[in-house]
Amino acid sequence: MKGTLFILAILFVSTLAHHHKHRFMDKFQEKFSKWKKFMRPRERKRISHSYTEIADHVNQLKTTWTATTYQRDYAPLLGAILDGAVPLPQKKFEKINLNLPDSFDPRDEYPKCESLKEIRDQANCGSCWAFGPAEAMSDRICIKSGQTLQTRVSSHNILSCCTSCGFGCDGGYPQYAWRFWKSTGVVTGGLYGDTATCQPYFLPMCDHHVEGSHGPCPETVDTPECKKDCEDGNKKEYASEMTYGESAYTIEGESNIMQEIYENGPVEASFTVYEDFPTYKTGVYQHVTGSYLGGHSIKIIGWGVEDGTKYWLCVNSWNDEWGDKGLFKILRGSNECGIENSASAGIPKLS
């Protein structure tokens, strides 16, 4: 009898272990599949046509924008993961402002905020998800301080230290950068070589073209290690260079995003990039040709109307030699490429 019970106990434990093993493997496979899907943006998609063919086709259509040819594959830079993240709280305005201007450019409203005039460069790292939030955070600190603080929030610090945000140079969730700013804080950091900030970006600007003024981009780069001190040569204390957000939230829809920008400053937004977007030069972009490439995070600073077409005014992070001196306009009011789905923002804590 005891022998029988012992054998039954062994069988029960084996069955239980087998069951848990399969549950564990199922969960592991699920997590691994999601990770594999997003881990290497540079390996996900390649352009199916040459940029020259795409640009020529766009210009022949004579739509709301013009294209040009950049001899570079931009797919590795598209690091914004557009799904799978737990959403931030959604901000809802108690009173909708019905008297917003037809056009708004914060560079005119806040001329002393130098960060609003800055065009950053993520170089050859899929770190757009850290750049869009860091740039908007910098602008919001200046605006809330009455244009007195010229703080630059470090995209490098977000990229390297926010492990819950994603996969570093291989992509991440922009919304989580705002949450990280609120919960943990982000140190100061400007462009490569900026000794006035704690953790400037680890890569210099580079040519996203065949020829340019910055020099060639590196072929591949690894995510930098998270460090809790300021870069050598910067005589600053890490803790004293920390910036924080009081809140982190999303805003959806044209009118809500406009009101948020008007009241509090630029926002980060992500959208789906197709093969025609990297050829943008001037005008109001709308997708007309080409396949899906990936997700991209940028900063929306304002809005306007061009030849009767409403647009968002956006800042990219591919330096000032791309597009319209580093900026672009994209169709507003129709959720073009998903750009109005969920912009992200937060209010800075100025202590």
Q: Which of 165, 169, 296, 314 is catalytic?
A: 296
Quick check: 2 pLDDT over 80?
no
At residue 8, the pLDDT reads 44
CA separation for the pair 97, 86 (Å, rounded)? 29
At residue 211, the pLDDT reads 64
Quick check: 26 pLDDT over 80?
no
Q: Name the average pLDDT for the chain.
A: 86
Q: Label residue 12 by pLDDT band (50, 70, 90).
A: very low
CA separation for the pair 171, 231 (Å, rounded)? 24
Catalytic annotation on 19? no
At residue 236, the pLDDT reads 82
Catalytic annotation on 316? yes
Percent of the chain with pLDDT over 90: 71
User: Quick check: 191 and 183 in contact, CB under 8 A?
Assistant: no
Q: Which of 128, 142, 198, 314 is catalytic?
A: 128
Q: Identify the bridge partners of residue 56 per DSSP, sorted by sequence position.
A: none
Catalytic annotation on 206? no
Q: Label residue 207 by pLDDT band (50, 70, 90).
A: confident
Please say whether the dihedral angle defined by the alpha carbons of residues 253, 255, 256 and 258, taken in this order, is positive or negative: positive
Q: Label residue 250 by pLDDT band (50, 70, 90).
A: very high
Question: pLDDT (tens digit, 9 = 90+) per residue, 227-247?
Answer: 999 987 677 899 999 999 999
Paired tokens of 106: 């914060």
Q: Where are the domains of the chain?
A: 1-38, 42-349
Q: Read off the pLDDT of each residue in 198-226 and give the average, rounded to a whole number.
A: 83
How far CA 242 is from CA of 4, 150, 185, 198, in Å, comes to 66, 14, 6, 9
Question: pLDDT (tens digit, 9 = 90+) per residue, 290-301?
Answer: 999 999 999 999
Paired tokens of 321: 């030699």
The owner of tokens 């926010």 is 162
Confidence (pTM): 0.86
CA separation for the pair 178, 161 (Å, rounded)? 13
**CATH architecture of the region 42-349:** Alpha-Beta Complex (3.90)
Question: pLDDT (tens digit, 9 = 90+) per residue, 295-345?
Answer: 999 999 999 999 999 999 999 999 998 999 999 999 999 999 999 998 999
At residue 30, the pLDDT reads 41
Paired tokens of 174: 């922009």
At residue 97, the pLDDT reads 87
Question: pLDDT (tens digit, 9 = 90+) per residue, 43-86?
Answer: 445 555 688 899 999 999 999 999 998 777 778 889 999 988 78
Helix or strand holding residue 163 (H, E): none
Q: Rounded to the nearest 5°, which phi and psi values hold at 108?
A: -85, -35
Q: Which of 157, 234, 316, 319 is catalytic?
A: 316
User: Quick check: 126 and 209 in contact, CB under 8 A?
Assistant: no
Quick check: 107 pLDDT over 60?
yes
At residue 35, the pLDDT reads 41
At residue 87, the pLDDT reads 82
Degrees, nearest 5: CA angle 92-157-231: 150
Nearest-CA neighbor of 125 among 194, 31, 219, 251? 219
More confident residue, 190 or 19: 190
Quick check: 181 pLDDT over 90?
yes
Q: Label residue 209 by pLDDT band (50, 70, 90).
A: low
